[in-house]
Amino acid sequence: MHRLLRPSGALLDLHPQPPEYRTVDVRLGDELRRAGRLHRQAFFIADIHAARDTLGAAVSAGLFQLDEEVEFEYVEHYDSVGSWMACLANPRVGELVADELLIESAFAMMPDGQAEIIVTQLERAALFARLG
């Protein structure tokens, strides 16, 4: 990557924190309840760790310098059974470990717009400057 970038180039790294899972909440009417966790597939977690290791090695080697980093919440709201099933079918999505009754309750109330499933992760955006 270092050689692909122009001398003034920059690298923006976007990675979830932690990489292993996202939190799942259910909104039933006005009530928001923690339902569980939505894990990621092992290959995707391995990719993220490999990326971090590679970036760390590149910084240690003097190829890049960390200029700035920001953490923020990245949130997805699912308000239909179909969209939630599509989420679970994503090849990068792993096991759902969650309160099944809460999920079923959300399914029952979704057609009336009274429920949604909310998936949240902390994301880190880090900017690296190309050196050399």
Chain residues that interact with another protein, rule: CB under 8 A: 1, 3-16, 44, 47-48, 50-51, 54-55, 68, 70, 72-80, 82-83, 86-87, 91-92, 123, 125, 127
Residue with Cβ nearer another protein (13 or 99): 13
Residue with Cβ nearer another protein (9 or 62): 9
Q: Judge contact between 20 and 39, C-beta under 8 A.
A: yes
Non-local (6+) Cβ contacts of 102 within 8 A are 26, 28, 33, 35
Residue with Cβ nearer another protein (56 or 62): 56
User: Closest distance between another protein and the C-beta of residue 2, in Å?
Assistant: 9
User: Closest distance between another protein and the C-beta of residue 77, in Å?
Assistant: 4
Residue with Cβ nearer another protein (1 or 61): 1
- Which among 29, 44, 35 has a CA at the least distance from the CA of 90? 44
Q: Are strands 115-130 and 31-40 parallel, antiparallel or unpaired?
A: unpaired
